[in-house]
């Protein structure tokens, strides 16, 4: 199944960096994968007008000259889908970086061809169907256990249907060995452990389902205040150094998705190296296995060609959809979509297209929308349930959210985790602003919370959000007249908000316990703080002073509970609750 070179379909006319004008083009098609020059540089036809084509090249085009041949492939730019994806590290057009580095003198030598899925590995295939069974796109004909936690279903490629004429017996197979034959209307079609899918075409589904189940991230400010649903979309906008990468990595590490597709898009090379070295060492708290056993990394650092960066988010989305079609819940992290938009802008500029806002092409919003539309909670073609959630970082220049990428992204996502420079400067991490962020999934997922976790959660959450809003107004008063002008009952609101921020919202990604919190822990921590607020307010009404309240020993326990109470043993929280109630009882008894 090698990517066969078809024939010469045209010649190079002019070279504009990563974009090439081709002349005398016959037999080419829009979005066709082509090879340019005698080094066979990988490219894609992105515009076709008569015999003139524009080709986006995914490798350095130095040395390409007019009249160099252009070879067609007869197929669109596609990715290989099958066993061998998990734990792999690819560039934007799915070249396996580790294997390429073994062959390359430089980072990636030009024209190097390495199959995306290893052709030597033998996988143990277990057939599920029999000769004579009727099959159609998306149906699983068997399984391959890829890692201890991921058993891949081997799917009939979308668009193929017919009678299963033969199917391999259980045994070891390579990805490109035929394992079944389907009698279709067009004739006999062999099936393999892998199949190809064009990256710019969303894989078909039966229907979209409502988004009612949260994607639990273990990050308290997210799960409790601005939750994302499985199959949902999120933007994380933030200026340089406000914590976009840290937040995405925290979610990638601790969220309860089955598969993570992490697209490192155009950021500095060393950030990707961090991901590459950190992930294999991290252990998944739920399975005790390496987190790489559920992760596919796509790395496009700023020193790689811009076209590959442009393609990387589609490559990532296609891989994610492939796992979704097997019934998995997948989360995509894209860091950063601004670097991707800049690649679009650069390519558009090279093609001398008419620029729109800030030099971005007029189709920027359409492209952003198309990317986020690949998220969803769906019924697959074969009738199982799977999801793709997309979490994209946005890095607006100067941290100014009014620029086009942030603004357009905001139109197409339903959850917004706005990073705040002031919080980051104050070392309040994650610096997700509780005033500028929002989640439109709250209502849809609240039923799930009530059924599975706690009926008090919604009330508690509403109460703390209300306090945070009241705090803003009170802070304005304090600025004018100083804190002493406020009555104790109002100053207590400031105290409780301060406690909530320190004890709950701030979460240290480097602390072994605090780096993630189960939702059970989050719900109970929130409830303790709300209890402190409710009982404290009553106490104040009865004449207890603020100073007395803050001197309670249990106040220190509450401050420290995020670090001191391990996720797998919440009994210490019951002790804190008990102590809190008793302390409040005592205070009130003194003042009755």
Ligand X SMILES: Nc1ncnc2c1ncn2[C@@H]1O[C@H](COP(=O)(O)OP(=O)(O)O)[C@@H](O)[C@H]1O
Binding segment for ligand X (CB under 6 A), chosen from 85-93, 236-244, 437-445, 540-548, is: 236-244
Work out the angle between the directed axes of helices 364-372 and 337-350 (0-180°, nearest 10): 140
Nearer to ligand X, 510 or 512 (CB): 510
What is the rounded distance in angstroms from the CA atom of residue 426 to the CA atom of residue 406? 24
Nearer to ligand X, 264 or 361 (CB): 264
Question: Per rule CB under 6 A, is residue 269 in the interface with ligand X?
Answer: no
Using CA atoms, how far residue 224 sits from 168, 493, 523, in Å, is 49, 20, 8
Burial 255-285 (b: 16+ CB within 10 A, else e): bbbbbbbbbbbbbeeebbeebbeebeebebe
Sign of the four-CA dihedral 248, 252, 255, 258: positive
- Under DSSP, the state recorded for 330 is E
Looking only at residues 430 through 459 of this chain, which bind ligand X when binding is defined by CB under 6 A?
A: 430
Q: How many helices (H) and strands (E) does the chain have?
A: 16, 26
Helical packing angle, 488-500 and 519-541, nearest 10°: 170
Greatest Cα pair distance, the chain, in angstroms, is 95
Any idea what DSSP says for residue 224? I
In degrees, rounded to 5, the angle at the alpha carbon of residue 128 between the alpha carbons of residues 122 and 131 is 100
**Shortest distance, position 562 Cβ to ligand X, whole Å:** 12
User: Is residue 240 part of the contact set for ligand X (CB under 6 A)?
Assistant: yes
Q: Please give the residues from 81 up to 110 whose contact with ligand X meets the rule CB under 6 A.
A: none
Q: Which of 509, 513, 546, 570 binds ligand X (CB under 6 A)?
A: 509
Shortest CB 315 distance to ligand X, Å = 22
Map the footprint of ligand X across residues 533-592, applying CB under 6 A: none
Q: Interface residues for ligand X in 489-508 (CB under 6 A)?
A: 507-508
429 in contact with ligand X (CB under 6 A): yes
Shortest Cβ 58–Mg ion spacing (Å):
24
Position 245 contacts Mg ion (CB under 5 A): yes
* Interatomic CA distance for residues 97 and 83, integer angstroms: 17
Q: Angle at Cα 283 formed by Cα 278 and Cα 289, nearest 5°?
A: 125
Q: How far is the CB of 515 from ligand X (least distance, A)?
A: 8
Task: Note whether 245 binds ligand X by CB under 6 A.
Answer: yes
Q: Which does 295 bind (CB under 5 to 8 A by kind): ligand X, Mg ion, none?
A: none
Residue 184: name its binding partner from ligand X, Mg ion, none (Cβ under 5 to 8 Å by kind): none
Say how many residues make up the chain: 592
Q: Is 243 among the residues that bind ligand X (CB under 6 A)?
A: yes
Q: Which does 369 bind (CB under 5 to 8 A by kind): Mg ion, ligand X, none?
A: none
290 binds, among ligand X, Mg ion, none (CB under 5 to 8 A by kind): none
Q: What does 510 interact with, of Mg ion, ligand X, none (CB < 5 to 8 A by kind)? A: ligand X
Q: Interface with ligand X includes 246 (CB under 6 A)?
A: yes
What does 227 interact with, of ligand X, Mg ion, none (CB < 5 to 8 A by kind)? none
- Asked if 510 touches ligand X (CB under 6 A), the answer is yes
Read off the tokens for 231.
């199959």
Q: Choosing among ligand X, Mg ion, none, which partner's interface includes residue 430 (Cβ < 5 to 8 Å by kind)? A: ligand X
Nearer to Mg ion, 244 or 521 (CB): 244
DSSP state at residue 120: S
Residue whose C-alpha is closest to residue 131's, from 179, 192, 187, 193: 179
Q: Choose which of 24, 241, 269, 349 interacts with ligand X (CB under 6 A).
A: 241
416 touches 410 (CB < 8 A)? yes
Interface with ligand X (CB under 6 A): 238, 240-246, 429-430, 507-510
């Amino acid at each position: 199944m090698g990517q066969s070179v078809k024939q010469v379909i045209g010649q190079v006319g002019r070279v504009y960096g990563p974009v090439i004008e081709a002349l005398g083009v016959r037999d080419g098609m829009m979005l066709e994968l082509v090879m340019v020059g005698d080094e066979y540089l990988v490219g894609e036809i992105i515009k076709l007008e008569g015999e003139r084509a524009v080709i986006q090249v995914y490798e350095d085009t130095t040395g390409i000259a007019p009249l160099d041949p252009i070879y067609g492939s007869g197929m669109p730019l596609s990715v290989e889908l099958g066993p061998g994806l998990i734990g792999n590290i690819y560039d934007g057009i799915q070249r396996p970086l580790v294997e390429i580095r073994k062959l390359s003198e430089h980072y990636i030598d030009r024209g190097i061809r390495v199959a995306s899925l290893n052709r030597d590995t033998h996988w143990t295939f277990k057939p599920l169907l029999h000769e004579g069974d009727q099959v159609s796109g998306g149906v699983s004909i068997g399984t391959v256990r890829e890692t201890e936690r991921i058993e891949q279903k081997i799917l009939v490629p979308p668009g193929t249907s017919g009678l299963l004429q033969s199917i391999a017996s259980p045994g070891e197979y390579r990805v490109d060995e035929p394992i079944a034959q389907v009698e279709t209307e067009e004739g006999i079609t062999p099936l393999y452990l892998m199949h190809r899918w064009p990256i710019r075409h969303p894989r078909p589904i039966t229907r979209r389902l409502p988004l009612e189940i949260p994607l639990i991230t273990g990050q308290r400010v997210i799960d409790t205040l601005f939750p994302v649903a499985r199959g949902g979309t999120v933007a994380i906008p933030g200026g340089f150094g406000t914590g976009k990468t840290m937040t995405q990595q925290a979610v990638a590490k601790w969220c309860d998705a089955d598969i993570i597709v992490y697209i490192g898009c155009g950021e500095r090379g060393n950030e990707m190296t961090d991901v590459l070295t950190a992930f294999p060492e991290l252990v998944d708290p739920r399975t005790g296995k390496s987190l790489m056993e559920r992760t596919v990394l796509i790395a496009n650092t700023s020193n790689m060609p811009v076209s590959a960066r442009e393609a990387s988010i589609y490559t990532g989305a296609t891989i994610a959809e492939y796992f979704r079609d097997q019934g998995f819940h997948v989360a995509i992290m894209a860091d950063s979509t601004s670097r991707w938009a800049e690649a679009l802008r650069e390519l558009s500029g090279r093609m001398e297209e008419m620029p729109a806002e800030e030099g971005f092409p007029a189709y920027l919003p359409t492209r952003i929308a198309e990317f986020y539309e690949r998220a969803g909670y769906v019924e697959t073609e074969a009738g199982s349930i799977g999801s793709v959630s997309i979490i994209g970082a946005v890095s607006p220049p100067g941290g100014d959210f009014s620029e086009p990428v942030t603004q357009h992204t905001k139109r197409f996502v339903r959850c917004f985790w706005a990073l705040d420079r002031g919080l980051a400067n104050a070392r309040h991490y994650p610096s997700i602003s509780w005033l500028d962020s929002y989640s439109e999934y709250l209502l849809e997922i609240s039923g799930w919370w009530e059924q599975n976790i706690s009926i008090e959660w919604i009330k508690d959450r509403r109460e703390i959000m209300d306090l945070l809003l009241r705090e803003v107004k009170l802070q304005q008063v304090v600025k004018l007249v100083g804190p002493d002008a406020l009555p104790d009952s109002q100053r207590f609101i400031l105290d409780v908000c301060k406690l909530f921020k320190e004890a709950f919202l701030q979460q240290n990604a480097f602390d072994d316990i605090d780096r993630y919190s189960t939702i059970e822990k989050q719900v109970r921590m929130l409830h303790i703080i709300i209890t402190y607020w409710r009982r404290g307010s009553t106490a104040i009404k009865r004449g207890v002073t603020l100073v007395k309240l803050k001197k309670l020993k249990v106040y220190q326990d509450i401050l420290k509970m995020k670090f001191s109470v391990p996720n797998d043993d919440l009994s210490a929280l019951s002790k804190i609750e008990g102590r809190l109630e008793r302390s409040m009882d005592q205070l009130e008894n003194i003042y009755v």
